[in-house]
Structure 1
């Protein structure tokens, strides 16, 4: 089996409301669908969500990287030659989500060719992932209302609270309102998207020490090396590296340098192959992981669930798998369902999803 064609298709689906966090704001899912075709008629799919304020990628740059740099390196190869393919892709620096989407599309092809789910090929640990929901910037009463709706409608009991505004007049008050409204049975953790200073972070965490927070993620920039290490020494809960740990070497740097004590794994930026490498690093070093989300659509969300369910360590925590609910529509023929606070992995070959051709025709931006 040989790869005959690689497509990079831009599409845009509006959000129900703008998504706001410390590093930026998005109004629509302007993503790229990656399709890998083979000479046996199989087609693998992956989703690349651009995040220019995090990785420097745009929809246009992803398409260009795939069309001009990556497709010529993989056409004519077998999808099973993953190591050789990645060696060629990695001659080009950066472009993490473009590489990740191509990697996941290759795994999708391999699963379909073997008639096996990718989650079984990756590890086969479980058949579902518990869901964590991200609560974005809004007045406290609106954040509470959203969390209560997610709990009551979908059975979600883990919430990631976006912070990174003014910690004293907004963020701490929002976290306290959520805890008071939701009670002690709900898990809360915070993500600053690099919006606080180290000193603000330390003070805010101290003020929230009675709220039972379970994780603190990227509260201040990774470039503030000494301040960040100082903060981690003060932190009584796992401090999660996310944007600062986008590849295995950065994971090593953050953990061994004392700038983090846990890692967020996002298949949208490390695919399945590099995500496994990061996961095995974390297992070997004895640190916790959380399956994160790049505000993925349903295809990307299913990839996160497939990866998380495949391994024991990623299954221990709820994965961030509900952001697609903020989108007005999606591309899949069968939408993802959150059942009792979990996303079940589909027992189908490959990733387990199919693209609806009519929806793709409606939302694609290159025609």
Structure 2
């Protein structure tokens, strides 16, 4: 099966509500649908999410990168998939989200050609994945009200966006804990929003109040290895890297520096499943747990992340809630939710069937 050409188009998806972190505030996901066409009339689907403040990519840059990469991969055959992945990752610098979309479309085609779901191709099974639900950054009153809504819907793992004023962040977290106690497991995500000493200040306040925190995600700037290590050495809570880890080389660096307790893997950061598998192997070798997450992105790319999560036991935490914030689900027939349970299709490939917009 030979790649003939790759096409892409913008698919705007409005959100149910505005989503805010310490880095940005959005009310719409600008998804880029990528389609790989072949000489056997089979198609592979992928999706990219432009997040300029994290990956440095925009809608325009992703569309341009997909067009360029498509020219480089044209004529290559799926039977030499390893060569395709090597070419994909070496033909241009950066553009990780564009590469991720093409990567998942290649995996979609590979699994379809064998007539199996992607999770089976990767050595896994269709298992139950229970996602957390994210509480957008807002006033303590707003965040407490949103927590109440989500808990009433049945969610028991809550990811709290923080990273503003440390004292306000402490108030946010203490009020949620005081209201719901042991009913929920709390994860903290600062999105690089603190200095190292501020992060320790917040963590020690929570420790003193006996708030059970599952993990603290990306408390300081992505490049601040020393800061991450300082936080890790001065809190009882596990410290996970998110924006710090784009590549297998990043994972090696932070692990060698003993700066982290775990890694949040996102396909948009690392360039897709091919590179994610390398990061997973490094984490397994270091005996570190992983979380599989996503940007605020389209259901299709979250579906690819869920397929990967079904294959690796080292991935023990799941942050796959982005589609729950979307008003419509135009790109992933193979993904659905029963409460906090992520449900995958048994169809071949990613499980989407044909996509019609």
Q: 1:356 to 1:110 in 2, by over 3 A?
A: closer
Displacement after TM superposition at 1:352 (Å): 0.6
Alignment partner, residue 172 of structure 2: 174
Structure 2 contact 5–71 (Cα < 8 Å) conserved: no
Distance 1:163 1:333, change over 3 A: closer
The structural deviation recorded for 1:9 is 1.0
The Cα RMSD (Å) is 1.7
Task: Measure the CA separation in 1 of the matches of 2:79 and 2:31.
Answer: 26
**After the TM superposition, which residues 264-283 of structure 1 pair with which residues of structure 2 at under 5 Å, given as runs?**
264-270=264-270, 271-283=272-284
Moved more, 57-66 or 80-89: 80-89
TM-score (normalizing by structure 1) = 0.92
Shift in Å at residue 225 of structure 1?
3.6
Greater RCO (CA < 8 Å, at least 6 residues apart): 1
Equivalence for 1:364: none
Provide the rounded CA distance (Å) in 1 between the counterparts of 2:27 and 2:354.
23
Given that residues 335 and 345 in structure 2 are in contact (C-alpha distance below 8 angstroms), is that contact kept between their aligned partners in structure 1? no
Partner deviation per Cα, 1:262-320 (whole Å, 9 max, x = no partner): 10111233311111111111111100111111112211221121111122121x32x11
Find the partner of 1:199 among 197, 201, 212.
197
Which residue does 2:70 correspond to in 1? 71
Instruction: Output the CA distance in 1 between the equivalents of 2:31 and 2:299.
Output: 12
The structure-2 alpha-carbon separation of the partners of 1:265 and 1:80, relative to structure 1 and needing over 3 Å to count, comes to: farther
Q: Verify the 8 A CA contact 1:245 1:263 in the aligned structure 2.
A: yes
CA distance in 1, matches of 2:298, 2:311: 20
Match of 2:48 in 1: 48
Normalised TM-score (structure 2): 0.94
Distance in structure 2 (CA, Å) of the matches to 1:105 and 1:219: 33
Partner residue of 2:323?
Answer: 324
Give the one of 165, 183, 186 matched to 2:184: 186
Offset of 1:332 from its aligned partner?
3.5
**Counterpart Cα distance in 2 of 1:152 and 1:287:** 33
Structure 1 residue 38, shift from structure 2 partner: 1.2
More deviation, 180-189/224-233: 224-233
Q: Please tell me whether the aligned partners of residues 161 and 190 of structure 1 are also in contact (alpha carbons under 8 angstroms).
A: yes
CA distance in 1, matches of 2:332, 2:253: 41
Q: Which runs of 5+ in 1 are unaligned?
A: 361-367
Post-superposition offset of 1:33:
0.6
